[in-house]
Amino acid sequence: MATALIILAAGQGTRMNSDLPKVLHKVAGAPVLAHAMRAGATLEPERMIVVTGHEREAVERAAREVDEEVIVVEQAERLGTGHAVAQALPALDGFAGKVLVLFGDTPLIRAETLEALAGSPTDITVLGFEPVNPLRYARLIMKGDMLDRIVEAKDATEAERAITLCNGGLMAVDAGLLADLVPLLSNKNAAGEYYLTEVVALARARGRSASVVTCDEAETLGVDTRAQLAQAEASFQARARAEAQENGVTMAAPETVFFAYDTVIGRDTVIAPNVVFGPSVTVESGAEIRAFCHLEGCHISRGATVGPFARLRPGAELAEDVHVGNFVEIKNAILDEGVKVGHLTYLGDAHVGEHTNIGAGTVTCNYDGVLKHRTEIGARAFIGSDTMLVAPVKIGAGALTGSGSVITADVPDDAVALGRAAQVVKPGLARKLFEKLKAEKARRQKEKQ
């Protein structure tokens, strides 16, 4: 059956104590809204509608970064979830199928849970869960196997508050039924808001069917406070680490490894302690990431080793069997097969040919204060320690640069380039200088007495 999504993202989140809308705070390197959208996208919906309100332009930009085709509508007044869905109904004109209503501040919902909601045969399906502490949650009132109604905690009787099956907030509704029932919602409740949950009782009064799909409490976590943001991050990381291990990744101290929302790690990869993955990292099978590395926007091929204490920035491309050692930073650079960059080096805006060795302290001087320039290094070259490569510059295949050189002009294939000042030796001068300095030190100490 065709599906459409309505994602509610209009709230300000005052308890976050932030100028940023709550749906734009990040979990695993992505706004919580992006997590909800990505989970919903697994259903391949015909339409995805995001309802904005507070800081609507910023929320819309974030939504379009995930899906350029997303439909964005505004809820100018925040009068409850039912009112928010009402703003989205015109965007569903002509759609026939299931409409899933999601919350933009719920980043941990699983695709499998959404599939269960979308695949339910009843006219309305509500997500339910049994929390450790159900005090503040709306209760799901069952009649036999069918859901009869939903009662908000503040409106519940004592007997209804004793029920432990609670409303997870998400809902799947037949599109035609949703369009019929939303205009009938009432705000005669303790909060004076239009609750979407009321559609269950309205549908049942018409003889329509309603059911419940359940999930773990963790999936329903909404991010309304900084503490909940940290809780969501911890839950995401625990899930990502477990999935990585199940997929054949070795981690000696998994609790110290942090993944982004889109990290891809191949099996038989080994990840040492204290490694952080930023967005857009792919590591192929059999690579090794050593301790205290930070990676983002990069691709690491089979058999490569990175670290310890290495930083790979966006655009770093490591081919097979590349070695990047300690205190090496690589940005927007391609390292071909077998390249070795041992330590204390910066390679930016560069292409290094296969099996080239980059000595310690090498820097590609890629920025002139206004523009970036590229460095090209051929295959099987040898770059001596402490070489400054002032871009734009090309080092030929098989070429060698002397240690301590400043290279400002292209170097042909198989050539040696030396770009340093001539050494000057003054016999006996060191002894004279030390004697002079020691005498000056003694004079100053005598003056202090």
User: 322, 280, 310: which is closest to 298 by C-alpha?
Assistant: 280
373 is known as an active-site residue: no
- Three-state secondary structure readout of 68-125: CCCEEEECCCCCCHHHHHHHHHHHHCCCCCEEEEEECCCCCCCHHHHHHHHHCCCCEE
Element (H, E) at 401: strand 400-401
Look at residue 421 in the predicted model and tell me its pLDDT. 85
Could you tell me which of 372, 374, 392, 396 has the C-alpha nearest to residue 383? 396
Q: What pairing do the DSSP bridges indicate for beta strands 299-300 and 317-318? A: parallel
Residue type, 125: T
pLDDT at 307: 96
Q: What CATH code is assigned to 3-220?
A: 3.90.550.10
CB atoms closer than 10 angstroms to residue 418:
13
pLDDT for the residue 134:
87
Q: Which of 294, 343, 351, 373 is catalytic?
A: 343
User: Which one is the CATH code of 226-417: 2.160.10.10, 3.30.70.1880, 3.40.50.12640, 2.130.10.10?
Assistant: 2.160.10.10
Q: What is the DSSP letter of 198?
A: H
Q: Do domains 3-220 and 226-417 have the same CATH topology?
A: no
The residues spanned by each domain of the chain are 3-220, 226-417
Measured CA to CA in angstroms, residue 84 lies from 75, 109, 323 at distances of 6, 20, 53
Spans in the chain with pLDDT lower than 50: none
The Cα 167–Cα 223 span in angstroms is 16
- Token pair, residue 214, equals 């359940």
| pLDDT tens for each residue of 169-178 | 999 999 999 9
Query: What is the reported pTM?
Result: 0.90
pLDDT at 39: 96
